[in-house]
Amino acid sequence: MNASTANQIYFRQAADELDLSDTMRSLLLTAKREVQVQVAAELDSGAVATFIGYRVQHNDARGPLKGGLRYHPEVDLDEVRSLAALMTWKTAVVNIPYGGAKGGIALDPATLSTRELERVTRSFVDAIHDLFGPDVDIPAPDMGTSAEVMAWIMNQYGKYRGFAPACVTGKPVEYHGIPGREEATGRGVGIVTLKLLSRLGRAIQGTTVAIQGFGNVGTHTAKFLRDAECRVVAISDASGGYHRADGIDVLEALRYAREHRGRLEGFVGGDRISNVELLALDCDVLIPAALGGVLTAANAEAVQAPIIVEAANSPVTPEADIVFAQKNVTVLPDILANAGGVTASWFEWVQNRQHYQWGVNRVRQELDRILGEAFEQVWQLSSSRQVSLRTAAYMLGVGRVARATVLGGIT
Ligand code: NAD
């Protein structure tokens, strides 16, 4: 099953509960615009490489389009389309005034030098500068892209339109970004994990957690939960996993990764396990924070954790979701669990537009408030309608977009 078909299954479950008309369903399922462009750039060798870039603008009924930019070899139109729709529901779940979009370039950033990546990024902006901007569509980081990439985007966009820091978020703090944005997705994952534990009547202290992925989201999630006195028993990245029943020394792992170009390869603070073994570990909370589609019908039965928090986008396939429901595993869905990043992106955009700066404490307080409210609304809806947290989150998000579509009018 491809990624967009999978997300449409979740959409339909919510649309049935909301009793949406067929007209509204097709309006909400069809992307407003899908663009594929040639991205040509000179390599350090002098040769010219050609890549394919995508931007899918799914829905802007609630505000300007918003969504990340992914650099990964497996990026294709279907994946970007599915991630764009997820952004529409995500911004609506946390009730921030945006629609949903996503973009990407099919490339492996590890094979390019920094200068080559910069030329690729600027070439992509040259191809799509008419399609994005502060009031239109605002990109942000995702897998394989960073604050530095966002700085190049702002700079290149400025060559066409002049100074416009709000055209992209997730920028470096020293270049019109804000403190608290980089940590926000992982911090948000941590915030809603604690709220879920407390709603389920479980103690926080000593809760055992396994985290797949040790990039932006995985590292900040690990740090936040460690600070909250949870026990992070396993971490992993593309090089494999590391397990320690007494708890991984998260600060040591962070230090190690920082000193090794962000990678855990060679880390000795835990026994080596595979990423497959990590997903099946005996722990309280499993947090996939790397790729999509990692929990499937083939491995869902083996999962022992009673709670799964979707820090990555779409890590649980619909088939696995059914198995988890049968096993009584609580799944906190991506459109709520990882919404902290886009929420802090909104704070960055607001400050860029006002040419004003908040302190990091205000960013954290506002993040906590917005995610807390969204979590409670999803929890209440799930209880009152006797549906899963995923269906409740989709009902909240899809319902808000449908309402805005009616209020704004269609033509
Ligand atoms: P990242 O590029 O910073 O880190 C990705 C991590 O996953 C790395 O540690 C990498 O080694 C690891 N990884 C890659 N392939 C793997 C594999 N096969 N098995 C195990 N680990 C593997 O990316 P990120 O920004 O942390 O994003 C992670 C996930 O979170 C993605 O699904 C992304 O869409 C989602 N997300 C990110 C943000 C954000 O603000 N960065 C916001 C919302 C959702």
Catalytic residue positions?
102
Q: Which atom of ligand 1 is nearest to the CA of 140?
A: 40
User: Tokens representing 57?
Assistant: 């603008």
Pocket test for ligand 1, best of 185, 258, 273 (most atoms within 8 A of CB): 185
The CA-atom distances, in angstroms, between 44 and each of 72, 108, 123, 155 are 20, 16, 15, 21
Q: What is the pLDDT of residue 411?
A: 62
Amino acid identity of residue 261, one-letter, is R
CA of 108 to the centre of ligand 1 (A): 14
Distance from Cα 386 to the centre of ligand 1, integer Å: 32
Q: Are the C-beta atoms of residues 279 and 294 closer than 8 Å to each other? A: yes
Residue 126 has a CB neighbour count (10 Å cut-off) of 16
- By most ligand atoms within 8 Å of CB, the mutation choice from 217, 239, 254 for ligand 1 is 217
Q: What local confidence, expressed as pLDDT, does residue 199 receive? A: 98
The pLDDT score that the predictor gives to residue 7 is 87
Q: How far is the CA of 22 from the centre of ligand 1 (A)?
A: 35
Residue nearest to atom 8 of ligand 1 (CA): 215
In tens, the pLDDT along 260-276 reads 989 999 999 999 999 99
Strands (E), 175-250: 208-212, 231-237, 240-243
Token digits of residue 328: 């009584």
Nearest Cα residue to atom 23 of ligand 1 = 143
Question: Which atom of ligand 1 is found nearest the CA of 314?
Answer: 32
Q: Considering only CA atoms, which of 399, 338, 369 is closest in space to residue 87?
A: 338
Which atom of ligand 1 is found nearest the CA of 241? Answer: 20
Atom index in ligand 1 nearest the CA of residue 70 equals: 34
Report the helix count and the strand count for the chain, using DSSP H and E: 14, 12
**pTM: predicted TM-score of the whole model, two decimal places:** 0.96
Distance, CA of 247 to CA of 336 (rounded, Å): 27
Mutate to test the pocket of ligand 1, among 237, 260, 281, 371 (most ligand atoms within 8 A of CB): 237
Tell me how far apart the alpha carbons of residues 55 and 286 are, in angstroms, rounded to a whole number. 31
Maximum distance among all Cα pairs of the chain, rounded to whole angstroms: 62
The CA 143 to ligand 1 mean position distance, Å, reads: 5
Phi and psi of 331, rounded to 5°? -110, 120
Atom of ligand 1 nearest to the CA of 339: 43
143 is written with which tokens?
């897998």
Tell me the pLDDT tens digit for each residue of 274-297. 999 999 999 999 999 999 999 999
- Of 143, 281, 336, the residue with max ligand 1 atoms within 8 A of its CB, to mutate for a pocket test, comes to 143
Which structural domains are found in the chain, ordered by start? 30-164 (3.40.50.10860), 182-337 (3.40.50.720)
CB 72 within 8 A of CB 52: no
Task: Give 25 Cα–ligand 1 centroid separation in angstroms.
Answer: 31
Residue nearest to atom 33 of ligand 1 (CA): 312
d(CA 14, CA 246): 41
> How far apart (Å, rounded) are the C-alpha atoms in residues 280 and 212?
11
Distance from C-alpha of 294 to C-alpha of 213, rounded to nearest angstrom:
11
Buried b (16+ CB within 10 A) or exposed e, 359-386: eeeebbebbeebbeebbebbbebbeeee
Report residue 370 as tokens: 């917005």
> Quick one: DSSP state of residue 107?
S
Protein residues with CB under 6 Å of any ligand 1 atom: 141-144, 185, 212-218, 236-238, 275, 289-292, 311-313, 338, 341
Distances in whole angstroms, Cα of residue 333 to Cα of each of 34, 132, 147, 317: 26, 28, 26, 11
Strands 65-71 vs 100-105: parallel, antiparallel or unpaired: parallel
> % helix / strand / coil in the chain, to the nearest 5?
50, 20, 35
Low-confidence ranges of the chain (pLDDT < 50): none
